[in-house]
Amino acid sequence: MQQYDFLALQSFVAVVESGSFSKAAEQLGASTAAISRRVSGLEQQLGLQLLRRTTRRIDLTEAGQQFYGDVVNVFLLLGEAEERVRAGTERVSGLMRVAAPMSFGIQKLAPVLPPFMQRHPDLKVQLLLEDRYTDLVAEGIDVAVRIGTLADSTLVARRLGSVDRIFCAAPAYLDARGVPEKPADLADHDCLQYAQRGPREDWSAILGAPDTLEIRGNLTANNGEVLKECVIQGMGVALLPAFVVEDALADGRLRQLLPDYSPAPFGLYAVRQSSRLIPARVRLFIEYLSEAFGD
């Protein structure tokens, strides 16, 4: 096996990922000429052309594409080995980007995040709270917390726990409109629905009603806190995650409805990109979330 110059490999990866020799040189603190010499030397050593150079762009050859993928995996493996060694003696470091739904992030993730960061003070976290499914690869997300049924994908998911869902309404609304005793009664109520990406949730399917229910209502929102506030103000009935409404149920602002017809809990997952080379900070964070939110 040939012995490779680490700087040459690093320069090749930097050129591919930045798209130019000048940007790679800036990243690595070297001259453009030096980066070009390193990559050319690597090609001569391999006896293969790795890059197609034009005045406008740089493209990988077929051999270059394969070599790049292998070299990146080697670098990831080296980084993983370093973090494994450091994890026993030092604190994990680096930047970790985490995505989560807005309500869950505020109510549940925010309280448990500081202890993890205090345990690892050299770690930097960017927390992105949005009520949509983020694209982990395109947006550079290391860990995403997701609630619901996961679609088939190349992502790796770890189940952390479950999230109960509750039908609820405000006492004043129920005094005025009556308390639904069975699923069919919901046809006579204003039903506020949660809008997700993809098909709207079918309440009749959730409730197992024998006949299709005519669910109606004049509000759909993609945020649980908004729906909670509207339900508290007497706008209708909503089906919401228990963690969103637990305080309002406890203090009487909301009442649970149809407890015998509660739908199956949603799964709570930590999702990451599919790679066997997972950074120690990501692995430790997922393990921490599993401890914090396990059933």
More confident residue, 244 or 54: 244
For position 27, what pLDDT does the model report?
A: 80
For position 198, what pLDDT does the model report?
A: 38
**Mean pLDDT to the nearest integer, 49-53:** 87
User: Is 149 domain-assigned?
Assistant: yes
Indicate whether 196 pLDDT > 70. Answer: no
Same domain, 156 and 175: no
Residue at a domain's end among 87, 104, 132: 87
User: Is 189 domain-assigned?
Assistant: yes
Torsion 232-243-285-135 (CA) sign: negative
pLDDT tens digits, 209-233: 656 677 788 898 888 999 999 999 9
More confident residue, 170 or 19: 170
Domain that holds residue 109: 91-163+267-293
**Mean pLDDT to the nearest integer, 100-120:** 93
- 42, 12 in Cβ contact below 8 A? yes
**Residue 165: partners with Cβ closer than 8 Å, 6 or more residues away:** 239, 240, 241, 242, 262, 263, 265, 266
Same domain, 36 and 76: yes
Same domain, 243 and 117: no
pLDDT tens digits, 262-290: 888 889 999 988 765 678 888 899 999 99
The candidate with the shortest Cα–Cα distance to 256, out of 171, 149, 144, is 171
pLDDT tens digits, 23-37: 888 888 889 999 889
Same domain, 194 and 249: yes
- 250, 222 in Cβ contact below 8 A? no
CATH number, domain containing residue 177 = 3.40.190.10
**Residue 86 pLDDT class (50, 70, 90 cuts):** low
**Residue 181 pLDDT class (50, 70, 90 cuts):** very high
pTM over 0.85: no
Same domain, 158 and 272: yes
